[in-house]
């Protein structure tokens, strides 16, 4: 049994060494909204199928139900014009919000937040953007708790007081302030985000920022990271821009085309944590394997000192050779999939 424990320790070290850090999260904007009608169960399910997290928008109805829709009314995406806050759920559910995209999606209804949360698969997160005010928070917390997937929910909002109130009410749930990029009125050029946003977010205990991509600079990204906060960006459908942002070490990129963006050859490596040839991204992998190797050696040393391993025995020598070979194999596999596999093809459209 002691010998098994030593080998178990070595195997654990190998598993730890095989992990990688630094990958960028891909978030499907309103679901996979390039292919399916936004903020519907069809687009949400497609987002999960594209191996992405999903972002949706929510409003509170007249009868205090939380529905998934971007606009204040159903005019743009529906077959009739109803103001969400002034309409009961039963009436809103009669609106067709799929046909505006294509006949293929005719009959899609405005989903309840409860229905969307029920679809979250293991290992994925749902980003819930509050489009109204803090009046939604008691109902939002109840819906989240009723579904039992609290750890898979992230809350975002443009209104600073609303997102601050959400964080205060639900401190264990990630909360990020949404911020657009201002433009210079004279030149119409985007103005870089100011580092003052960082202190504002920290002052209310938020977890980070979710900003429009055009204003993100290295100075801004560094300021966010130095403060111990996370940085997400929206809405990016340009692979070159995604590469730039990944190299700036943003934590996540929101896009309308998750699979297509991830699999572009010019930026697939960046989204997996590789980026361009940037040693700050290579060293974490090297360090992980180094730590794993040290743990393996410690396990072997403890086994030899304790008499649990005996290199004179053919059985022990064979097992050690298998473990070392397995460790080296994992090193090769991780390197291949980190630095080479993303460039083997263009992938399919999302």
The rounded distance, in Å, linking the Cα atoms of 131 and 77 is 16
Q: What is the pLDDT of residue 261?
A: 94
Residue 6 shares a structural domain with residue 40: no
Do 106 and 14 have their domain in common?
no
Does a structural domain hold residue 292? yes
- pLDDT interval class at 348 (50, 70, 90): very low
Q: Which long-range contacts does 114-119 make (Cβ < 8 Å, 24+ apart)?
A: 114/66, 114/143, 114/146, 114/147, 115/41, 116/41, 116/44, 116/54, 116/56, 116/68, 117/143, 117/144, 117/147, 117/149, 117/153, 118/147, 119/41, 119/44, 119/45, 119/48
Last residue of a domain, one of 226, 249, 271: 271
Yes or no: say if 53 and 25 are a contact pair by the CB < 8 Å rule: yes
Mean pLDDT of 232-247: 95
Q: For residue range 279-309, list pLDDT tens digits in order.
A: 444 555 666 667 766 776 766 666 666 666 5
The residue-averaged pLDDT of 167-180 equals: 98
The reply to whether 201 and 313 lie within a common domain is: no
Same domain assignment for residues 243 and 322:
no
Please count the structural domains in the chain. Answer: 2
> Residues 197, 249: one domain?
yes
Kindly state whether residue 350 falls inside one of the protein's structural domains: no
Q: Which domain holds residue 88?
A: 25-271
Whether residues 300 and 207 fall in one domain:
no
Q: Is residue 348 part of a domain?
A: no
Same domain, 219 and 131: yes
Chain-wide mean pLDDT for the chain?
85
CB 30 within 8 A of CB 43: yes
Instruction: Provide mean pLDDT across the span 162-179.
Output: 98
Q: Which residues contact residue 244 at a Cβ distance below 8 angstroms, ignoring those fewer than 6 apart? A: none
pLDDT digits over 43-80, tens only?
999 999 999 999 999 999 999 999 999 999 999 999 99
Q: Any idea what the CATH number is for the domain that residue 52 is in?
A: 3.20.20.190
pTM: 0.75
- One domain, residues 238 and 97: yes
Shared-domain flag, residues 105 and 192: yes
């Amino acid at each position: 049994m002691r010998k098994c424990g030593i080998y178990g320790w070595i195997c654990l070290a190998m598993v730890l060494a095989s992990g990688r850090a630094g990958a960028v999260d891909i978030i499907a904007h309103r679901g996979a909204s390039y292919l399916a009608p936004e903020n519907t169960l069809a687009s949400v399910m497609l987002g999960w199928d594209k191996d992405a997290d999903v972002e949706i928008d929510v409003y509170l109805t007249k009868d205090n139900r939380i529905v998934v829709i971007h606009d204040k009314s159903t005019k743009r995406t529906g077959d009739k014009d109803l103001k969400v806050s002034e309409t009961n759920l039963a009436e809103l559910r009669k609106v067709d919000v799929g046909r505006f995209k294509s006949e293929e999606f005719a009959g899609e209804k405005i989903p309840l937040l409860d229905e969307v949360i029920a679809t979250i698969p293991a290992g994925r997160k749902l980003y819930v953007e509050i489009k109204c005010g803090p009046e939604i928070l008691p109902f939002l917390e109840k819906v989240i708790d009723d579904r039992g997937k609290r750890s898979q929910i992230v809350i975002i909002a443009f209104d600073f007081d609303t997102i601050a109130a959400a964080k205060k009410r639900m401190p264990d749930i990630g909360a990020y302030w949404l911020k657009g990029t201002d433009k210079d009125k004279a030149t119409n050029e985007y103005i870089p985000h100011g580092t003052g946003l960082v202190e504002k977010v920290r002052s209310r205990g938020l977890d980070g920022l979710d900003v429009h991509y055009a204003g993100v600079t290295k100075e801004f990204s560094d300021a966010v990271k130095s403060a111990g906060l996370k940085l997400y960006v929206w809405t990016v459908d340009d692979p070159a821009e995604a590469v730039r942002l990944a190299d700036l070490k943003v934590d996540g990129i929101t896009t309308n085309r998750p699979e297509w963006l991830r699999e572009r050859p010019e930026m697939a490596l960046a989204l997996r944590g590789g980026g361009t040839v940037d040693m700050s991204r290579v060293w974490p992998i090297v360090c992980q394997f180094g730590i794993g190797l040290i743990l393996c050696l410690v396990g072997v040393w403890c086994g030899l000192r304790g008499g649990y391993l005996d290199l004179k025995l053919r059985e022990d020598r064979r097992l050690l050779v298998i473990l070392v070979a397995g460790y080296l194999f994992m090193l090769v596999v991780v390197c291949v999939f980190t630095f080479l596999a993303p460039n083997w093809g263009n992938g399919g459209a999302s």
